[in-house]
Structure 1
Amino acid sequence: MASDEGFDQPQRWTSTNLVGVSTAWLASTGFNEQAPELHIAGTRETQPGLFALLDRCDDLTEAREVFVHYLSIAFGLQATEKPAIGSAASAEPRRWRGSWRRLLQGWGMDANGVAGAVLKGWVESRFGLVPTFHKAPLAHFPSPAWVAYLEEKTSSRHHSNNIHQQLDLLYEFCQWALARFPLPAPQMQGPHVRLWRGSNRVEEQLLQGTLRERRCRVRLNNIVSFSLSPEEASCFGDWVFELLVPRSKLLVFPGLLPGQVLQGEQEVIALGGDYDVVARYD
C-alpha cells in the first residue's frame, strides 16, 4: 500500500500485479469499457512447448486434451499404478497433489471454502485485486473474517504443487482459446462477453445508482461466477445483473475443459471489480 492511511480499509488498498497495468484501473469500469488484452508475465515464455502444441490444434476439443495432458505431465497429475505394498514408493499415490481440476471442483461446491480462498489469493497475487468477501464481508483489517481468509488461502489442502503456476497456465490457455475459438454470438461481442449473475447481496455491492433505475454500478468480489443466460443466473439470487465482461477477465468458460469440472454447465469464472450492470428482480 502507498501509505499507512486507510490500512484498515481493504477497499482502499493498492497492490502490484503481474499483468503490467495499474490494479486500480484493472478494477475499474474504464478497463471494462476498453477491454485490453492481459497476460501474466512470463507464463507463455516459460512454457513455449505447450503453446506450440496448442497452435497445431484444429479445434477446441483437441486443444483442451493437449492442455490437460501437458499439465498432467508437467505437474505430476497423471494417475499412477498402485505400487507393491511395502515398497518405497507406496506412499506416493496417497500424497495429496494440488491440481487445477480439484481446485475448480472445490470452487464449484463452495466458493467460500478453502478452494475459493486459494483462487482469491491467486487473483490477489497475479492481478492485484483484493477480495471483498469470504464467508463474511472483508471490510476491515484485521478482523476474524480476514484471519480466516488468510489461513485458508495458504492451506496445504489445495495450495501445493505449484498451484499458482497451474492457474497461470489455465488463465493463459483460456485467453488463447477465446482468441482462437471465440464463443458464439450473442455471448461474444467483440472483446466482451455478455454474461449474467444472480445475487442476493445487492445492497452491499452497490456503488452508484439505484436498483429502481435498473442501471447501476456494483463492486463484485475479486473472482466470481457468472452464467451464460439470465434463466441460469436467476437460480442463484433474486436480483439478476446483466453485464459485459472483458474477454481478458475470463478464467474458465463452458467447453474450455474436458469432463465435469464445475457444478453448473453454464458457469463462467471471471475476475471481478467494478461493473456497470443492468439489474432486474426475478
Structure 2
Amino acid sequence: MLKVGVIGCGAMGKGIVKNFVKAGYEVFVFDPNPQVIPWIKEIGAVFSGTLKDIAEAVDIMVSSLPTTDIVRQSYIGENGVFNSLKKGSIIIDMSTTDAETAIDLAKVAEELGLLFYDCPVSGGPAGADSGTLTIMVGGNIQEYEKVLPILEVVGEEVFYIGESGAGQITKLCHNMVVASTIVSLGEALIVAKKAGVEPEKVAEVFAKGTANRVLNVFGENILNNQYDNVLFSLNHMHKDIWLYTKTAISEEVPSFIGSTVFQLYESAKATGKGNLDATAVCQILEELASTAVSSGYSKVIHEK
C-alpha cells in the first residue's frame, strides 16, 4: 500500500486523514499545531515533525491549507516538500488558492519529475469526515487515472475539469455563487421581517420551492442567529471571494455581483466577524437595515 502524507490537520484535514487511514493507507501527517498530535496518533497515523520528514516518507502528498501563501511555502519555500519528494510522487492540493499558484506549482513539479494536481473541494468538514466531498480537478489528463482512485477515498463526486488551474477557477466560481446566495437569502429574510412577514414562514415556502437547497445549507444559522456555528468560516469565504474578484479583473470580466458581495464580506471581516460562520455576513445587512431576522437578536440591533 502506498504511503500518504497529509499537510494540514484542521477542520478539513482531520476528515481527510481519517478516511485515508480507514482505507488502509499508511498515513503521515504534518501540522505545526502540537495540539493535534494526540489525535493523529490515536487515529493510527504517524506525526511528522517537519515538512522534510513527511516528504521523505511518502509516495502521495495531500494538502489542505488555509491560504495561498502557506500553500506556496509548503511546496516551494526554503523548506518546502518539493525539495525532498522522490520522483514520480503524486501531489494533490485540496486547498483553495488561485489558478496562477496551481499553474506555478504544477510547472515546478513537472521539472522535478513530480505530478501536481489542484483539487479544491466542496462539502465542508462534514463532507471531509464522511468521505463525500465534491472534488474539482486540474492537471495532466494523461496521468489522471493514477490520481482518481486516491481522490475517491475522500470524494463522492470527482470532476476532471481541465489543465492545471482549472480546478481552482471552478472552485472560486462555485464559492462566489455560494457567497452571493448567502447574501441573497439573508437580504430576503430581512425584507420579509421588516415588511411584517415572519421569516420562519418565508423559510417554510423556500423549503418547498426552488430555494430549498440554499435554505437547507444556510438557513438555520441565519434564522436563529447561530453565526458561531461555523460550517465554513467567514475568513475563508472572504479569501475565496477576493481571489475570485482578482480573477475576474485579470480576465477583464465586469463583476457587479461578485465585487458587491466581496465588499460585504470585507465589511464583515473588518468588524471582527472573521472567525464566525460565512453566514455572519448577514449581520452587516441586519445592522444596515436596523432589523434582525432572529427575534432574539433584534433587541441587540435596535440598541446599537
TM-score (ref. length: structure 2) = 0.26
Higher Rg of the two aligned structures: 2
TM-score (ref. length: structure 1) = 0.27
More strand by share: 1
Higher relative contact order (CA 8 A, sep 6+): 1
More helix by share: 2
